[in-house]
Amino acid sequence: MTTLTGAGVRASSLADRIVDSPAGYSGIEADEEWIAEIQRLKKERNATILAHNYQLPAIQDIADHVGDSLALARIAATADEDTIVFCGVHFMAETAKILSPDKTVLLPDVRAGCSLADSITAEELQAWKDEYPDAVVVSYVNTTAAVKALTDYCCTSSNAVDVVNAIDPDREVLFLPDQFLGQHVKRVTGRQNLHIWAGECHVHAAINGDELEEKARANPDAELFVHPECGCATSSLYLVGEGHFPEDQVKILSTGGMLEEAGRTGARKVLVATEVGMIYQLRKAAPQVDFEAVNRKAACKFMKMITPAALLRCLTVGADEIHVDPETAQRAARSVQRMISIGHSVPVSQ
Ligand code: SF4
């Protein structure tokens, strides 16, 4: 049985099985029936589905494009479809809306937030700017639209170093909100006039040096892929410095960089320090390599809120729609456009 839901979209009885609870939408298996229904609804809405590397495998498999924040922002900016369904977290869908204000941007569950984006508000950033009125503000893309509107350059982990290197070396830089990425950028650029906000992502901060050291000692021949947002990025460099781990076996990489490196590595085993969803893409990119998470519990509950049920509901009823105040969007667009024009990133198209 089908019913009309508006915008010419027909809902099937499969949608009746969706269960809504404070933990998110559930009750739907990612089976053949679900796949066919998602494909049909996507066509009826003239939508494209973008999925972040940390999404559940079923969501990654059905998406039109899978990638890191930067790759997906670039795709969102040039998409031909009327509707962008962003399978990721709130700030990512907001960024897509900033880049494509005339399109409908849907996030399958508006409750999918980000602890890192929540670690600085627009008011806190304004107060920091007032302390350093001549500084250039560089914000990691994990920020709200209001923070982006007060930002000169946005960046992601795949182009943060390039963005900071593109700024006049004599200007002071305010880097926010991630302290671990900030320390990585400071180390690589050697820039002393870079001030770092003390924010962190609870998932990445939980991947700590002790776990890393234990795994590294148990697997002396393995390579180590470390995301610069991880609390262990500093520990991995310490291990190298102490001679516990050869320098050429440690790679500090963005999620896009990890996928590139997976295709090149000659290692049989790779320890991966980032959110566990990344392992799925890495195994697809290099099935011959044994990828193991440094911390198997490092799962982002916000990313995992985009379930098969949430995506089905989203395409059936056209929700949750993301709106950004036009003036804020216009100011934020400047810093986001600068981000997408600097550096590179690797999308995986399906
Ligand atoms: S893994 Fe961390 S930074 Fe990424 S969305 Fe989740 S809370 Fe935010």
DSSP 317-349: HT-PBP---HHHHHHHHHHHHHHHHSS----EE
* pLDDT higher than threshold 70 for residue 348: no
Query: Does 198 score more than 70 pLDDT?
Result: yes
Q: Which pLDDT score is estimated for 158?
A: 77
Which one, of 107, 103, 32, lies nearest residue 303 by Cα?
107
The answer to whether the peptide bond before residue 320 is cis (omega within 30 degrees of 0) is yes
What band does 349 get if pLDDT is binned at 50, 70 and 90? very low
Q: Give the chain's count of helices (H) and strands (E).
A: 15, 17
| Residue 83, helix vs strand vs coil | strand
In the sheet with 83-87, reading across from the earlier edge strand, the strands are: 104-106, 83-87, 47-52, 65-67, 348-349
Q: Please state, rounded to an integer, the average pLDDT across all residues of the chain.
A: 89
- 284-310 in b/e form (b: 16+ CB < 10 A) is ebbeebebebbbeebbbebbbbbbbbb
Span from the CA of 15 to the centroid of ligand 1 (angstroms): 29
Task: Give dist(CA 323, CA 140) in Å, integer.
Answer: 21
Feature table: binding site for [4Fe-4S] cluster: 114, 201, 300
Residue 103 CA to residue 192 CA, distance in Å, equals 41
* Binding-site residue set: 52, 69, 114, 140-142, 157, 201, 227-229, 255, 300
Tens digit of each residue's pLDDT (9 = 90 or more) over 328-341: 999 999 999 888 87
Q: Report the separation in Å between the CA atom of 300 and the middle of ligand 1, taken as the mean of its atom positions.
A: 6
